[in-house]
């Protein structure tokens, strides 16, 4: 294997690892969702979801520039909690603060069905973007993975050669160490 082929294989492997890690990074974080808003009472139910595989500590909930209120000392990994808050109609910034991270999201509190429909459409557009990003990621992944039987055979042969060389080097090192120990 030439230096150029090794560099190409290494760069393809690096890109493959990057593409595989992107969804993991994107999936992590705190999700803030408006569950329900009653314009008559100006009460809103807001759900905070921890999408990470680690617990969040000293979790606080903040609306706009008001002082943050403590939700709890721990929000479990992949867990959720609900807050009921009094908010006037309009757009408000909801921020969740923890020792590990901070996440903010603007939510629109509407008094009409049209406003709620707009919010729903915005969320659908956001989901479509995520699906499109996933499709692009899969296409990029397909570019760097062997697709034909000949390409797979080449990759298998290359891996076998690398393994054989590493094995032979290991045997040589073993005999050198053994010979050195016998001499002393």
Residue 112: what pLDDT? 57
CATH number at residue 76: 2.60.40.10
Q: How far apart are CA 94 and CA 182, in angstroms?
A: 72
Residue 37 pLDDT > 60, yes or no? yes
| Number of domains present in the structure of the chain | 2
Q: Residues 96-111: pLDDT tens digits?
A: 999 999 999 988 887 6
Rounded to an integer, the average pLDDT of 119-130 is: 81
Residue 40 is classified by DSSP as: T
Pairing of strands 56-63, 69-75: antiparallel
Q: What percent of the chain has pLDDT over 70?
A: 75
Q: Is residue 66 part of a domain?
A: yes
Q: Is residue 120 part of a domain?
A: no
Domain, as residue range, for 95: 25-111
Q: Is residue 129 part of a domain?
A: no
Q: Do 149 and 165 reside in the same domain of the chain?
A: yes
Rounded to an integer, the average pLDDT of 26-36 is: 75
Report yes or no: 46 and 69 within 8 Å, Cβ to Cβ: no
Q: Do 93 and 169 reside in the same domain of the chain?
A: no
Rounded to an integer, the average pLDDT of 152-175 is: 84
Residue 3 pLDDT > 50, yes or no? no
Residue 32 pLDDT > 70, yes or no? yes
Residue 20 pLDDT > 70, yes or no? no
Residue 11 pLDDT > 80, yes or no? no
Q: Is residue 103 part of a domain?
A: yes
Q: Residues 67-98: pLDDT tens digits?
A: 999 988 898 988 899 999 998 888 899 999 99
Integer angstrom CA distances of residue 4 from 1, 7, 9, 46, 164: 8, 5, 9, 55, 20
Report yes or no: 9 and 144 within 8 Å, Cβ to Cβ: no
Q: How far apart are CA 169 and CA 157, in angstroms?
A: 18
Rounded to an integer, the average pLDDT of 12-28 is: 46
Residue 69: what pLDDT? 92
Q: Do 102 and 157 reside in the same domain of the chain?
A: no
Q: What is the 3-state secondary structure (H, E, C) of 68-126?
A: CEEEEEEECCCCEEEEEEECCCEEEEEEEECCCCEEEEEEEECCCHHHHHHHHHHHHHH
Rounded to an integer, the average pLDDT of 2-21 is: 49
């Amino acid at each position: 294997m030439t230096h150029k082929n090794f560099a190409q294989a290494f760069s393809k492997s690096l890109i493959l690892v990057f593409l595989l890690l992107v969804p993991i990074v994107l999936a992590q974080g705190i999700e803030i969702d408006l569950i329900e808003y009653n314009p008559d009472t100006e009460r809103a139910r807001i759900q905070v979801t921890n999408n990470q595989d680690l617990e969040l500590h000293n979790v606080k909930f903040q609306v706009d520039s008001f002082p943050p209120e403590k939700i709890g000392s721990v929000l479990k990994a992949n867990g959720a909690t609900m807050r009921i808050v009094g908010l006037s109609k309009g757009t408000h910034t909801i921020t969740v603060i923890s020792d590990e991270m901070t996440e903010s999201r603007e939510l629109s509190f509407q008094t009409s069905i049209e406003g709620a429909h707009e919010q729903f459409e915005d969320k659908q557009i956001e989901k479509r973007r995520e699906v499109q990003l996933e499709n692009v990621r899969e296409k990029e992944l397909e570019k760097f993975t062997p697709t034909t039987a000949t390409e797979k055979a080449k990759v298998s042969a290359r891996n076998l050669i690398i393994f054989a060389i590493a094995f032979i080097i290991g045997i040589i090192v073993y005999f050198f160490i053994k010979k050195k120990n016998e001499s002393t």
